[in-house]
Amino acid sequence: MGPRFGPPSSEINDRLKAPKPRSIREIPGYLKKTVGGTLYRLLYIFKLVWETQPFLLIFMLFMTVYNGVMPLVGTLISANLLDSIVRSFTEEVDLVLPLVFQFGYLFLNTLTSSLSAMITQITGEKVTNHVKNKIMNKAKTVDLASFDMPDFYERLENANREAGMRPVNILRSSFELVSKLISMFSYFAVLTVILSTLPSYSIIFFIIFIGLTIASAAVSFHFRRKNFNYMFSRSKDRRKMNYYSDLIVNKDMVKEIRLFDLSDLLIGKYNDVFAGYFKGIKKLIWQEGACNLALSLATAVMNGVLFYMVATNVSQIGDYSVYTGALNSISAALAAIISVTSSIYEGSLFIDNMILFMNEKQTVNPVIDEPVKPQVHTGHTIELRNVTFRYPGADRDVIKNMNLTIESGSTVALVGLNGAGKTTLIKLITRLYDPTSGVILLDGRDIREYDIKALYKLYGIIFQDFGKYAESAGDNIAFGDIDREKTEETVAEAARNSGANAFIEKMPEGYDTPLTRYFEKDGTELSVGQWQKLSVAIAFYSDADILILDEPTASLDAIAEQEIYMQFDRLREGKTSVFVSHRLSSATIADTVLVLENGCVAEMGSHEELMALKGKYYKLFSTQASRYQTKGRVENDRPSMRMPSM
- Which residues make beta-bridge pairs with 372? 450
* Residue ranges covered by each domain of the chain: 10-17+24-186, 380-458+545-646, 469-544
Listed ranges 34-43, 480-489, 559-568; the one with the highest mean pLDDT = 480-489
Q: Within its chain, how far is the Cα of 530 from the centroid? A: 31
Residue 618: name the closest of 599, 593, 639, 636 by CA: 593
The phi, psi pair for 50, rounded to 5°, reads -65, -40
Q: Within its chain, how far is the Cα of 567 from the centroid? A: 40
Question: So what's the pLDDT on residue 400?
Answer: 92
Secondary-structure percent of the chain, ordered helix, strand, coil, rounded to 5: 60, 10, 30
Question: So what's the pLDDT on residue 157?
Answer: 72
Residue 580: name the closest of 566, 567, 596 by CA: 596
The DSSP result for 566-592, as a single string, is: HHHHHHTTTSEEEEE-S-GGGGGG-SE
Residue type, 488: E
DSSP 214: H
Alpha carbon distance, N-terminus to C-terminus of the chain: 45
Do residues 451 and 371 lie in contact, with contact meaning Cβ atoms separated by under 8 Å?
Answer: yes
Q: Is 506 helix (H, G, I), strand (E, B) or coil?
A: coil
The half-sphere exposure of 123 on its side-chain side, counting CA atoms within 13 A, is: 24
Residue 202: name the closest of 279, 102, 132, 305 by CA: 305
Quick one: angle between helices 317-358 and 166-195, nearest 10? 150
Q: Would you place residue 624 in the very low, low, confident or very high pLDDT band (cuts 50, 70, 90)?
A: confident
Residue type, 138: K
Q: Is 323 helix (H, G, I), strand (E, B) or coil?
A: helix
Task: Spell 635-645 as b/e; 16+ CB within 10 A means b.
Answer: eeeeeeeeeee
- Which residues make beta-bridge pairs with 592? 412
Separation between Cα atoms, residue 465 and residue 587, nearest integer Å: 21
Separation between Cα atoms, residue 438 and residue 429, nearest integer Å: 12
Q: Would you place residue 17 in the very low, low, confident or very high pLDDT band (cuts 50, 70, 90)?
A: very low
pLDDT surpasses 50 at 640:
no
Do residues 346 and 227 lie in contact, with contact meaning Cβ atoms separated by under 8 Å?
Answer: yes
Against a cut of 0.85, is the pTM above it?
Answer: no
Do residues 491 and 477 lie in contact, with contact meaning Cβ atoms separated by under 8 Å?
Answer: yes
Do residues 127 and 168 lie in contact, with contact meaning Cβ atoms separated by under 8 Å?
Answer: yes
pLDDT surpasses 60 at 5:
no
Quick one: angle between helices 96-139 and 150-161, nearest 10? 150
Tell me how far apart the 2 most distant CA atoms of the chain are, in Å: 122
Compute the mean pLDDT over every residue in the chain, rounded to the nearest whole number.
Answer: 78
Q: Within its chain, how far is the Cα of 346 from the centroid? A: 19
Q: Is 118 helix (H, G, I), strand (E, B) or coil?
A: helix
Q: Which helix (H) or strand (E) segment is 562 a member of?
A: helix 558-571
Separation between Cα atoms, residue 383 and residue 439, nearest integer Å: 8
List pLDDT tens digits, range 263-306.
Answer: 888 899 899 999 988 888 888 889 888 888 888 788 778 767 76
List pLDDT tens digits, range 320-348.
Answer: 666 666 766 676 666 676 667 766 776 66
Give yes or no on whether 380-458+545-646 and 469-544 have one common fold.
yes
Do residues 388 and 400 lie in contact, with contact meaning Cβ atoms separated by under 8 Å?
Answer: yes
Q: Within its chain, how far is the Cα of 636 from the centroid? A: 61
Q: Would you place residue 152 in the very low, low, confident or very high pLDDT band (cuts 50, 70, 90)?
A: confident
How many CB atoms sit inside 10 A of residue 352's CB? 26
Output 62-65 pairs: Cβ under 8 A, ≥24 positions apart: 63/112, 63/116, 63/175, 63/179, 64/175, 64/176, 64/178, 64/179, 64/182, 65/179, 65/182
Can you list the alpha helix ranges (DSSP code H) found in 141-165?
A: 150-161
How many CB atoms sit inside 10 A of residue 618's CB? 15
Separation between Cα atoms, residue 206 and residue 309, nearest integer Å: 11
Q: What angle do CA 396, 402, 408 make, to 5 degrees?
A: 140
Separation between Cα atoms, residue 194 and residue 184, nearest integer Å: 15
How many CB atoms sit inside 10 A of residue 466's CB? 18
Put the strands of the sheet holding 445-446 in their side by side order: 399-406, 382-389, 437-442, 445-446
Mean pLDDT of the region 507-511: 90
pLDDT surpasses 50 at 100:
yes
Separation between Cα atoms, residue 469 and residue 493, nearest integer Å: 20
- Check residues 607 and 634 and name the one with the higher pLDDT: 607
Residue type, 374: P
- SS (HEC) of 479-494: CCCCCCCCCHHHHHHH
Question: So what's the pLDDT on residue 387?
Answer: 94
Is the CATH number of domain 380-458+545-646 3.30.70.2190? Answer: no
Question: So what's the pLDDT on residue 631?
Answer: 43
Spell out the CATH class of 469-544. Answer: alpha beta
Residue 304: name the closest of 318, 324, 289, 334 by CA: 324
Listed ranges 80-89, 354-363, 615-624; the one with the highest mean pLDDT = 615-624
Mean pLDDT of the region 220-241: 79
DSSP 450: B
Do residues 159 and 357 lie in contact, with contact meaning Cβ atoms separated by under 8 Å?
Answer: yes
